Amino acid sequence: MIGRKRIVLTTFGSYGDIHPYLAIAAELRSRGHHPVIATSELYREKLLAGGFDFVSVRPNIPPPQEQDPVMMEKVMNPKSGSGYLLNEMLFPFVRDGYEDLLQAVAGADLLLTHPISFAGPLVAQKAGLPWVSSVLAPVSFMSAYDMPAPPFWPWMRHLQLLGPRFVAAFFKQVKKYYKNKDYEVFREELGLPDRGSPVFEGQHSPTLILALFSALFAQPQPDWPPQARVTGFAFYDGRNELTMPPELTRFLDDGPPPVVFTLGSSAVWVARDFYRESIAAAKLLGRRAVLLIGDERNQLRESLPPEIIAVNYAPFEALLAHACAMVHHGGVGTTSNGLRAGIPTLIVPFAFDQPDNAAHAARLGCSRTLPRAKYHAARVARELDILLTKPEHTSKARQTSRLLRMENGARVAADLIEQVLQTEDVAIAAGPEEPVYAACD
C-alpha cells in the first residue's frame, strides 16, 4: 500500500495530446494521489475548470484562433511541418521549459512525460526524480518490424520488403538528423549524458514507458524498448467542459444517423476546402451530415440545407453514438474515439503521426484512408459508400468497439505508475546495501 503521492504530468500539443494525461490524472486523483498537470498556459482555464492543479510551462503559444495562419500552414505541412515544429517552436524554448518544470517538480514523487515535452527527461535526470515516459501512437517507436508511414516519405513503407535489419540500419541514420544543436549544448551544460535523439530514444524513461494505445491498434514489436507497456487508450470524457449544442441535439433526434466530418483541434486551422467538399459528398450520398468546424472562420458563407448542420465542437462520445460514420484527419485522439464508437471511419491524414494512425486503423478492417490531395466530393462519396454498404466494415467496427470498451488505459497506466512508486518506496526503505529490482522490468 503506497501513500498519497505528488505526481507531475507534463504534456504539450492539441487536445489529443492533453486528454490522455487528464484521464490518467483523474484516475490517480481517485486513488488519493495529488496529480499536477504541467503544460502550456493555453490550457489553464480548461484544467482549472476540471478541478486539476495546473502549472504553466513554456513555450506559451497563443490560442489557434489568434495565431498567424501562415505559421499554422507551416506546422501542418506534411513534408516540413515536423522540422518546423521542432526547430522553430519547441527546441528554442527548452531552457525556459526546463526552468518552469524544475520548479513544478519540487516536492514531487514522480514525473510523467509526453513525447515532445523535451525539458521533461532533462528535469527528471537532473533532479534524480522517478520518471515514467509515454507515447501516444506506435510511430513513436519507429519499429523496423512495424514500418511507420510518415507523411514526408510515403515510399518508406516499401522498405519493409528489404527486411528488419536493413530498415533498422536506415532508421539509425535517420535519427542522427533529429538532434538539435541548442538542445545538445544545454544538455552538456547540465552535465547530463547523451541518451540519443530527444525525438526518439532520448524521450524514453529507462524505467517504464506507457504506450497509451490499445494492443488492438498496435502489438509490441521485438525492437520496442523492453520497458514499454501497452495500456490501452486513455479516454477523458471532460463532461464538465462541453455539452451538446441544443440545435445539434434537435438535429440528431430529427432523422437518420449522419456522417460526422471533423478535423480535430489542430488540422481544423488549415481546413482549406475540406468542409466544402464534405458538404458536396454528403449531398451525393443523400446522407445527413454534421460538420465540426472548430471556429467560425470555417463557416461557409452559403446557407446549409436542412440535412446538414455545422457547429464548432461537440463531445465525441455523445455525438458519435448517433452517427453512421466519421471522416477525420487521423489524430490519435480522434482515431481512438472513432474506433470506440463502433462506426466505420474514413481518414484523411494531414501530417505527423496521422498517416501511420490511418494505416493501423485500416488494418482493423473498419477504416479506409484517402490522401488529402484526393479529398474531392466524388471520391469521398465513393469511399463512404463502400464503408456504409459493405457489412464487413460495420461488423469489424462493432467488434473493435466491444473490445476497446473492455479496456481502461487510464487505470492500467495508474497501476503501472503505482508499481514504480512502490518500488521507489521499497528502495528507500531497503537502503543502499540491499539491491531492489524494478517492478516493471
List, run by run, the mean pLDDT of 10-residue segments along the chain (441 residues).
Answer: 90 93 97 97 92 94 73 83 88 96 97 97 97 96 87 67 82 80 95 94 97 97 97 85 86 96 86 94 97 82 90 91 97 96 96 92 96 96 97 97 97 98 78 49 41
Contact status, residue 343 vs residue 395, Cβ threshold 8 Å = no
Going edge to edge, which strands form the sheet with 259-262? Answer: 308-311, 289-292, 259-262, 325-328, 345-347, 367-369
Residues in a beta bridge with 325: 259
Give the CA angle between residues 421, 427, 432 to the nearest 5°: 155
Burial of 49: CB neighbours in 10 Å, binned 0-12, 13-18, 19+? exposed
Contact status, residue 322 vs residue 300, Cβ threshold 8 Å: no
Could you give the 3-state DSSP secondary structure of residue 328?
A: strand
Amino acid identity, residue 295?
D
- Pick from 302, 300, 298: nearest CA to 270: 298
Question: Would you say 22 and 123 are in contact if contact means Cβ atoms under 8 Å apart?
Answer: no
Decide: 396 and 371 in contact? Cβ < 8 Å.
no
pTM: 0.92
Q: Using CB atoms within 10 A of its CB, is residue 286 exposed (0-12), middle (13-18) or buried (19+)?
A: exposed
Give Rg (Cα) of the chain.
22
Which amino acid is present at 81?
G
The single residue listed with the C-alpha cell 516540413 is: 80
Domains of the chain: 6-237+408-430 (3.40.50.2000), 246-404 (3.40.50.2000)
Q: For residue 35, what are the β-bridge partners?
A: 7
71: Cβ contacts below 8 Å, ≥ 6 apart: none
What was the pLDDT predicted at 321? 95
Give the HSE-up count for residue 150: Cα atoms under 13 Å, Cβ half-sphere: 16
Task: Answer yes or no: are the C-beta atoms of 215 and 230 closer than 8 Å.
Answer: yes
pLDDT recorded at residue 226: 97
Q: What distance in Å separates the CA atoms of residue 409 and residue 218, rounded to the nearest whole number?
A: 14
- Largest interatomic CA distance in the chain: 75
**Residue 287 backbone zone (phi > 0: left; psi -120 to 50: alpha; other: beta):** beta
Peptide bond just before 59 cis, omega within 30 deg: yes
Q: How remote is the C-alpha of 168 from its chain's centroid?
A: 25
Nearest CA-CA partner of 417 in 52, 131, 18: 131
Per-residue model confidence (pLDDT) at position 441? 41
pLDDT at residue 153, as a whole number: 62
